Amino acid sequence: MPITELLQHLIRVPSVNPDNAPGTEQTGEGWLAAWLSEWLERIGATVERDKIKPGRPNLIARWAPRDGRPRILLGPHLDTVGIEGMTIEPFSGEVRDGRVWGRGASDTKGPMAAMLWGLKENAGHLADAPVAIDFVAFMGEESGQWGSKDFAAKYAEEYEFAIVGEPTSLDIVHVTKGSLWATLRTPGKAAHSSQPEKGDNAVMKMVRALPDFERRLRDRLAGFTHPVLGASTLNIGVIRGGTRPNVVPDACEAEIDLRTTPSLRDAGGGLKLLAEALDGTPFELVDPHDNPPMELPADHRWIERIRSVRPASKPVGAPWFSDAAHLFAGGIPAICLGPGSIDQAHTCDEFIEIAALEEGAAFFSRLIQSTIHDPQSAIG
């Protein structure tokens, strides 16, 4: 089975995250975890499916026993974003124009396939390798990152490094922004639209207060910068309110996304800054979800090992968020790395170049070989 066929199989097993408009009833990571379990067992792994939510497990594959030897993990995520609005068949895995097409081809089943291929090519040496290499596929990355949080809480002490599979064009993403999602709510009072004075219009309350709030918070965020990532930022992505044009709306909500830098984290975090900006506004804060930024030194020895295997891989930053930050926050030094371009992630016609996929597979195979044949530089 060439690597293109492996990726086609991964794409053809739907694993759409059920949160946030999946666009299909074929949701959850369970089917893909089951398929991967059989594939990994065939190449000698001991596989565990650790249920995080109903039908939504983490998958953990080990070749070497948990005997105290140095240990790293290769960690893509199982889930994809939804398929609504796609202009290609999302689960076809079609090969055309030198590309593999379908949901997850870039984010992140392409990087997953490259990792799996590297493990397959070295499977006969993994049980006795001086550095154990595990494959851990996380559920829920595209929503709450429950899989990586749970894994770090249980197993962080066993690992000295993690490579999280994301489409980075094989560059080494060692610093990322955090992400704070929250909902702002304005309450109101319903009334018939023929007598609006008897109600309290929650939509108008929202739209009148939001511009000044956005301006003040944006200005505060601009003061928290990073030499690679730039400034912390704010986006107001969703506003919804009301039920009918002839009813005064009794509630309105706005969903916001703060992208936070390490300097903002060190100053108390995005939630603290948001709470300060909300003072004196009509907004209620609902369900904030805060993901931390990540910053691993560019001279970390595992980054240096990666660069010795592939000198073209550069340490870079990224404004997006991934499971790596929760592993890092839980005590596992982590980076993101994989073939493919982030520009193709979540798109209506998602694809990965076959040449990039093959280059990624060759890289992971060489990296694994380097830990087997030159263990001292890996162990330190």
Q: Kindly list the structural domains of the chain, giving each domain's residue range(s) and its CATH number in brackets, ordered by start.
A: 3-176+293-379 (3.40.630.10), 178-291 (3.30.70.360)
List, as one string, the DSSP characters of 274-343. Answer: HHHHHTTSSPEEEEEEEE--EE--TT-HHHHHHHHH-TT--EEEESS--HHHHHHHTT--EEE--SS-GG
Q: Which residues contact 218 (CB under 8 A, 6 or more apart)?
A: 233, 234
How much is the mean pLDDT over the chain? 95
Q: b/e string for 35-59 if b means 16 or more Cβ within 10 A?
A: bbbebbeebebebebbebbeebbbb
Q: How far apart are CA 73 and CA 335, in angstroms?
A: 11
pLDDT of residue 376: 60
Residue 260 CB partners (closer than 8 Å, separation 6+): 177, 178, 179, 180, 224, 232, 269, 270, 293
Tokens (6 digits) for 245:
């044009």
Q: What whole-number distance in Å separates Cα of residue 4 and Cα of residue 219?
A: 47
Helix (H) or strand (E) run with residue 350 in it: none
**Closest to 126 measured CA to CA, from 45, 66, 180, 189:** 45
Contact present, 191 and 248 (Cβ < 8 Å): yes
Report pLDDT digits (tens) over 232-291: 999 999 999 999 999 999 999 999 999 999 999 999 999 999 999 999 999 999 999 899
Q: What tokens does 264 get?
A: 């903002």
Question: For each of the chain's 380 residues, which pLDDT tens digit applies?
Answer: 699 999 999 999 999 999 978 999 999 999 999 999 999 999 999 999 999 999 999 999 999 999 999 999 999 999 999 999 999 999 999 999 999 999 999 999 999 999 999 999 999 999 999 999 999 999 999 988 999 999 999 999 999 999 999 999 999 999 999 999 999 999 999 999 999 999 999 999 999 999 999 999 999 999 999 999 999 999 999 999 999 999 999 999 999 999 999 999 999 999 999 999 999 999 999 999 899 999 999 999 999 999 999 999 999 999 898 999 999 999 999 999 999 999 999 999 999 999 999 999 999 999 999 998 775 655 55
Peptide bond into 281 cis (omega under 30): no
Q: Are 134 and 62 in contact (CB under 8 A)?
A: yes
